[in-house]
Amino acid sequence: MSRPRRSSRGEPHVRLRVALIAVTVLLTVFAARLGQIQGIDAASYVERAGTSGLVTIDLPAQRGSILDRNGQPLAESVSGLMLVADPQTTGPNAEAIAQVLADRLDLDYFDQVERLTPSDETTRFVYLARKIPATQATRVVEVLREKQLAGVDSRPDPLRTYPAGDVGGNLVGFLGDDGNPANGDDGNDPMVGLELAFDGDLAGTDGHETYEVGGGNRIPLGDRSKVDPVDGRDLRLTIDRDVQWYAQKALCTQVERFDATWGAAVVMDTETGELLALADCPTVDPVEPGQTPKDSRGSRALADVFEPGSVQKVLTFAGLLDADEVTPQTRLTVPGELEIYDRTIRDWFEHGVLRLTAAGALAKSSNIGTAMAAEEQSPEEFRGYLEAFGLGTPTSLGLPAESAGSLPALADWNRLTQAQVAFGQGLSVNAVQMAAAVNTIANSGLHVEPSLVEGRRTNGAGLEVGTGTTSVDRVVSAEAASETTRMMELVTGDGGSAPNAGIPGYRVAGKTGTAQQAGSQGYANGYKAVSFGGFAPADDPRFTVYVVVSDPKNGGSGAGTAAPVFRQLMTHVLQRYAVPPTGEREAAYPLWWKPSDR
């Protein structure tokens, strides 16, 4: 029987020979192709390489929210998108794409054509628009794809919103830009307010991503690096959004009614110094800040100073009571006019000789009686009390552009200076300073620094601020503060200068203020500012409210213009925080004295 024949293909040496032939053919092909690339087609490949390269794109951090004391947002970042383009791809259709962007996003047509057209062969990335609502940007991209217009894409770009509108707008501030998204401008430049003061915390740190593109497309396995963004920190305030809204509404109603230049209202927690409202009028809407004049976009309650007028008398008498230089029953024989050097001091009402007590001088808001009482104190002692009340020193709120106000220097102090400062002329304050000074009386003689930010934070100027940094200092004794409080209650009583500031069921302590303001030619061409400051319940203070209205044109006064706003705000905050009515009013100090009195 014969053996079966074996196929020669199965021999090892045959298989090896076939493999060597195949490798030789493959290497020959590779060599030929390399020669083609390096020689024949070298120019075309250099041109294609010119259209490849690395693209770097920003990865924006999400800006921290600004929240009220209850976590309600005053400013927050929501989903937004940026539109970007590859000019090498969009160039042939630049005009058609620019038309879509102009129609749907109201972008400048000619500007977009310029960006969409490549300036050279290496430009692979440009910004078209930043901070666009996500749904709007997504629809634009979809429309371009439907029209087969390639080269435009979107990337995440958080959008800043202000859900409370103008509530707290002068405090919160707003963001702006230079209007040039071609430079990658993200519209996140803080302009004023808390957005500016705490930008370092709020902004976070943007990241970036770099990747390789070729032929108009991202190369999946090309070079790539990425640095993730670090989102900003939230900023929680002491402000109560509801109280802030109400304060702005009540204040602006009165500012408009009296055709005033501006107004400010402060609502403060007596014990902690926390601001529940810091209202300004005019207000600014952070979404449309251009509709408000530049000088009204920040907080006038801090930036603008004024002569406080008769509210200052509260501080004058508190210092005199603390130093045992007067008592509420101290007798003052008050003439119709008081001559000091070449000046004549008068009261706001005409009168002959009055026999007022110190309490009566405050209740009737007598400039002459207050100036006479202040003569019992040395200039050094008097000025020292005012400094302790916080006058002449910036608050610790941490907002930019605050004015510190001023006190006359001791070197320039004389009898006339003392008299004028005693009843609130010749010095300047801002509204928050004055609120904190009045609050010192409510807080049993302890001056507590006002605060706007919860916790402990550092602003852009390096100042550490917030409720965690608040200091408390004794200015006058608890007894002197109590006596001053009872004197202030006379103001809101039937015989006082502002009974319309009283609130049924509550004991209310307060003081009116109407002060001339110096102009370029002194008081001759100046104007006036009217104010009211006080607290309630007077026998167990919970809140302090201070209101100032600048330059009312229609006969405004502290009692007629500012006191009604005080009453509205105090009533609202007492009800909101369910503060119960307290005890009955104590027996009033006498306002007058008789020669027969002992």
The 10 Å Cβ neighbour count of residue 264 is: 30
Quick one: residue 401, left, alpha or beta (phi over 0 = left, psi -120 to 50 = alpha)? left
Cα-based distances in Å from 336 to 205, 349, 369, 521? 67, 9, 10, 27
| Cα–Cα dist 85/182, whole Å | 11
How large is the angle between the packed helices 312-322 and 379-388, nearest 10 degrees? 120
DSSP letters along 389-449, please? TTTTS--SS--SS----B---GGG--HHHHHHHHTT-S-BB-HHHHHHHHHHHHTTTEEE-
Q: Which residues contact 135 (CB under 8 A, 6 or more apart)?
A: none
Q: Which residues contact 224 (CB under 8 A, 6 or more apart)?
A: 209, 210, 211, 212
**Helix 312-322 with 367-374: angle, nearest 10 deg:** 30
User: Over the range 557-577, which residues count as b (16 or more CB within 10 Å of their CB) and which as e?
Assistant: bbbbbbbbbbbbbbbbbbeee
Stretch (H or E) spanning 209: strand 207-214
C-alpha closest to that of 534 among 496, 567, 573, 583: 567
Q: How far apart are CA 213 and CA 124, in angstroms?
A: 8
52 is catalytic: no
List the structure tokens of 379.
């200039």
- Distance, in Å, from the CA atom of 492 to the CA atom of 461, rounded to the nearest integer, reads 42
Question: What number of CA atoms fall less than 13 Å from residue 328's CA on the CB side?
Answer: 20
Q: What is the CB neighbour count within 10 angstroms for residue 143? A: 15
Q: Provide CB contacts within 8 A for 401, sequence distance 6+.
A: 192, 298, 302, 303
231: nearest Cα among 210, 208, 201:
201
Q: Catalytic one among 310, 428, 444, 482?
A: 310
Catalytic residues, by residue number, are 310
